Amino acid sequence: MKFTFTSRHFKAHYSLKEIAQNEVERISKYYDGIIKCEVILSFEKVTNSIKIAEFIVNSNNHHTFTAKGQSEDFKVSIVGASDKIISQIKKYKEKIKPIHNSKQDDSLNLET
């Protein structure tokens, strides 16, 4: 899996990159087909600003998951956005699961 980390309009501390990388590893545990993950950090104002973390996850079946987390702290924003991605992946896996089961049921009916 390819991991890209971007910080807009500032130089991010190494600990933020490490937190983001840990969250990406946590996301990859839920779905094997992840090809690329981008983490983008930004903020609105220099003082008293809202920190924004954006995740863009591309999977092998041409599906893209995106999520944005906003808070007063980058760590909270990163964790919030990754939780949103995980919930999207869980919903997606539930959605595609019945499709594969119905194909197997049809092939079993044809054999009998």
Q: Do the beta carbons of residue 29 and residue 62 sit within 8 Å?
A: no
Q: What pTM was computed for the model?
A: 0.82
Q: Which residue type does 81 have?
A: A
- Domain span at residue 47 reads 2-111
Residues of the chain with pLDDT under 50: none
Q: Give the residues across from 70 on adjacent strands.
A: 52
Q: Would you state the pLDDT for residue 21?
A: 95
CATH of the domain at 101: 3.30.160.100
Q: Would you state the pLDDT for residue 49?
A: 85
* Overall domain count for the chain: 1
Q: How far apart are CA 75 and CA 112, in angstroms?
A: 56
Q: Would you state the pLDDT for residue 100?
A: 59
